[in-house]
């Protein structure tokens, strides 16, 4: 869903992005089915219900001397997932800045490592701010709520553009019925928690998301500039050792 953020780094995206997505989804489905079949084969229904960690219970039954490998594998999996999410969030800020939705500093790359350092720093700072309340479970739930809503809105925009701009140049084309399915699943995942356990916090989450309009209208739509923003950008460029991407593109052409 966020493959457009990495479009510049992918060779032949019209072929490689669909191939990678299909291969990854099929592999995950196969692994999940095999793991669940293994759980159902080894453990009884009562053990599945009463177990705090089904994988560890399964390991204690099948490989008692190597059961420690399950929590270690879960830790590595979580670390890998968080690492991918951090890169994805940084690329989202980077792509938004290149479209003019964020300050130009966010779309700059480090002069030596060619990484979007300002975008990564912003993502890290936002994550640190949200962790301050220390309610990790609520933070995870509301982050999942925002992610599902964002995915649904992204696929909705894809459907709208497919009908309003049918001749628009596209690096890769998404199978349209799949977009409708994703929108339906996202709508269910967004509405189900609200209907099942309505909380005022969901309203605050939506209010926080749509509060970005307050920033979008004056600074993006009407292109207003904050005083001294150019001086601040220049100072931060020197501090972070970053430059606009145009410089790197020109050097490649030469």
The pLDDT value given to residue 252 = 53
Q: Tell me phi and psi for residue 124, to 5 degrees.
A: -65, -45
The pLDDT value given to residue 147 = 83
Spell out the per-residue pLDDT of the chain, length 254, in tens.
Answer: 455 555 666 777 777 777 888 898 899 999 999 999 999 998 888 888 888 888 888 888 888 888 888 889 888 888 888 777 777 777 888 888 888 888 888 888 888 888 888 888 888 888 788 777 767 777 777 778 888 888 898 889 989 999 998 888 877 777 888 889 999 999 998 898 888 888 887 888 888 888 888 888 888 888 888 888 888 889 988 888 888 877 555 555 45
Which pTM was predicted? 0.70
Give the C-alpha separation, 60 to 67, whole Å. 6
Q: Residue 243's beta-bridge partner residues?
A: 109
Give the C-alpha separation, 132 to 32, whole Å. 34
Q: Which helix (H) or strand (E) holds 109?
A: strand 109-110
Cα→Cα distances 253→98, 111, 203, 210, 250, Å: 20, 17, 50, 41, 5
Cα→Cα distances 52→38, 47, 129, 139, 157, Å: 17, 10, 30, 21, 40
Write the DSSP symbol of residue 221. Answer: I
The pLDDT value given to residue 79 = 86
Domain residue extents for the chain: 1-66, 67-253
Q: Which helix (H) or strand (E) holds 243?
A: strand 242-243
Nearest to 119 by CA among 107, 128, 136, 127: 107
Give the C-alpha separation, 138 to 133, whole Å. 10
The pLDDT value given to residue 9 = 65
Give the C-alpha separation, 80 to 132, whole Å. 23
The pLDDT value given to residue 180 = 93
The pLDDT value given to residue 6 = 56
């Amino acid at each position: 869903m966020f493959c457009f953020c990495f479009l510049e780094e992918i060779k032949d995206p019209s072929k490689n992005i669909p191939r990678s997505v299909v291969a990854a989804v099929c592999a995950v489905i196969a692994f999940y089915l095999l793991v669940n079949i293994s759980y159902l084969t080894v453990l009884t229904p009562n053990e599945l219900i009463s177990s705090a960690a089904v994988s560890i219970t399964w390991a204690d039954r099948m490989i008692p001397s190597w059961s420690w490998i399950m929590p270690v594998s879960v830790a590595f999996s979580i670390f890998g997932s968080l690492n991918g999410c951090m890169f994805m969030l940084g690329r989202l800020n980077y792509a938004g800045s290149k479209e003019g939705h964020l300050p130009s500093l966010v779309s700059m790359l480090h002069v030596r490592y060619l990484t979007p350092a300002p975008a990564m720093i912003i993502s890290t700072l936002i994550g640190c701010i949200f962790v301050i309340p220390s309610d990790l479970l609520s933070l995870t739930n509301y982050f999942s709520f925002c992610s599902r809503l964002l995915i649904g809105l992204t696929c909705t925009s894809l459907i709208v553009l497919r009908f309003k701009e049918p001749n628009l140049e596209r690096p890769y084309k998404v199978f349209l019925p799949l977009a409708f399915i994703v929108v339906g699943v996202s709508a269910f995942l967004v509405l189900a928690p609200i209907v099942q356990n309505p909380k005022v916090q969901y309203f605050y989450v939506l209010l926080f998301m749509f509060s970005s309009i307050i920033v979008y209208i004056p600074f993006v739509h009407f292109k207003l500039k904050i005083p001294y923003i150019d001086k601040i950008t220049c100072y931060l460029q020197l501090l972070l050792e970053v430059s606009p991407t145009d410089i790197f593109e020109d050097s490649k052409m030469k």
